[in-house]
Amino acid sequence: MSYLITAIGAILILAVLFDTFEVIILPRQVTRRIRFTRIFYRTTWTPWAAVAERLGRRREASLGAYGPFSLLLLLSLWAFGLILGFALIHYGSGSRLNTTESINFLTDLYLSATTFFTLGLGDVTPATVHSRIFVALEAGLGFGFLGMVISYLPVLYGAFAQREVSISLLDARAGSPPTAYELLKRYGDHDGTRPGGHGDDLEQFLREWERWSAELLESHLSYPVLAYYRSQHSNQSWLSALSCILDSCSVILVGLKSGPVRQARLTFAMARHAVIDLCQVFDTPPRLGECESRLLPGQQDAIVKALQKGGLGQKRKADWDKELKELRSLYEPYIAALSAHFRLKLPPWAHEKSIHDNWQSTPWKEITGRELPRIKDTDHF
């Protein structure tokens, strides 16, 4: 029986260390379905989200707290798993300890905890060579674990901040939440005074978001917990930004025959790649037919007209409907699946009524007496 307990402790330690290695150190997607971290997020996110949905105005705050809290809880569970594993090894080895108190499993657990956190109190010490070896191993492991956690958090929050900077910049360029119509309209050169029209600016913008999509894919595959970190504003998210870019690229591909078409194709490919891989990581199968209401009748023509105000060559209108439907089928079922899993609202293709951007709004409207004026059609970026 003692050998079995020792073996269970050793297996628990190895399992925790391997899971920690996969989550923190291994810079690639892990396809193995049975993993402690995977089970942890599967069993905690669903009830957390279900409770948050019933909190009304505090829904977004509750959902936003899950990411940081789950990370702290996961790190605590890893630490407890290592402490418990070494306690089982000590207990299975006969609890060979020096202490003035009665010896039981709680004593082994206490020794393991003080060793892991390198407290060095000295009230319970190992009495045999094997016990001393295990204590030394645990002390070194605990020191390395704490150092790894300290170095892991800045990397994680650095990736989060880098993601959010581009999302914040999208506010004045595509609205809040961002839509394809607002993005293409605001990038239009209505007076035609700039060389190249809006095609050059839009191409540069799409190039930057191609890189952003690649960085999003790399960071969220390496650190999937980032996907649970929500933006500062409830009408912004990494998924709404990704959806807006995919929508905009789709309109450019079906509505234009010149201009930033090639760059739109590259950005569309990278953004869709990110969407598909994230669906695989979080095991969210595509949800067919759930995004039809995003594009209302008449909005497609308005979006394409906004795009064509830059003087770029346009395709024949007869091609628009079929091509756009085909492109939408390549990504909308997947963003719908991610939206349902993360409880993130997808933006429409165009707002049905005029709304203010986040930078134009203030919580002190009652004090100031007015909001900032909306961007006019003649304004451009």
Quick one: average pLDDT of 332-358?
88
Per cent of the chain over pLDDT 70 is 86
Instruction: Give dist(CA 227, CA 225) in Å, integer.
Output: 5
Q: Is the pLDDT of residue 330 over 70?
A: yes
Stretch among 33-37, 77-81, 162-166, 329-333 having the lowest mean pLDDT: 33-37
| pLDDT above 50 for 378 | no
> Rounded to an integer, what is the distance from CA 67 to the centroid of its chain?
9
What was the pLDDT predicted at 260?
A: 87
The 3-state DSSP composition of the chain as helix, strand, coil percent (nearest 5) reads: 70, 0, 30
Q: What pLDDT score was predicted for residue 331?
A: 95
C-alpha span between 177 and 236 (Å, rounded): 6
**125 phi, psi to nearest 5 deg:** -130, 155
Stretch 20-44: mean pLDDT:
81
The pTM score is 0.84
What local confidence, expressed as pLDDT, does residue 129 receive? 87
- Token pair in block for residue 293: 């209401």
The domains of the chain, with CATH numbers, are 2-152 (1.10.287.70), 170-368 (no CATH)
Q: Give the confidence band of 379 by pLDDT, cuts at 50, 70, 90.
A: very low
pLDDT at 203 over 80: yes
Q: Determine the pLDDT at residue 336.
A: 94
120 has a pLDDT exceeding 80: no
Q: How many CB atoms lie within 10 A of CB 21?
A: 12
Q: How do residues 213-248 score in pLDDT, each as one tens digit?
A: 999 999 998 889 999 999 988 889 999 999 999 999
End-to-end alpha-carbon separation of the chain, Å? 73
Residue 377, pLDDT score? 46
Give yes or no for a contact between 92 and 6, defined as CB atoms under 8 angstroms apart.
yes
Residue 376 above 60 pLDDT?
no
Residue 316 confidence (pLDDT): 60
Give the mean pLDDT of the chain: 84
Question: Has residue 372 got a pLDDT over 70?
Answer: no
pLDDT of residue 364: 57
**Rounded CA gap, 176 and 178, in Å?**
5
Residue 125 has pLDDT above 90, yes or no: no
Closest CA to 8 of 85, 82, 77: 85
Instruction: Specify the pLDDT at position 193.
Output: 41
- Is residue 338's pLDDT more than 90? yes
Better-predicted residue by pLDDT, 337 or 175:
337
Average pLDDT over residues 104-133: 86
* Reported confidence tier of residue 191, pLDDT bands at 50, 70, 90: very low
Question: Does the structure show a pLDDT above 60 at 23?
Answer: yes
Select the more confidently predicted residue: 318 or 216: 216
d(CA 283, CA 341): 9
Please name the residue ranges forming H helices in 318-381. 320-342, 365-368
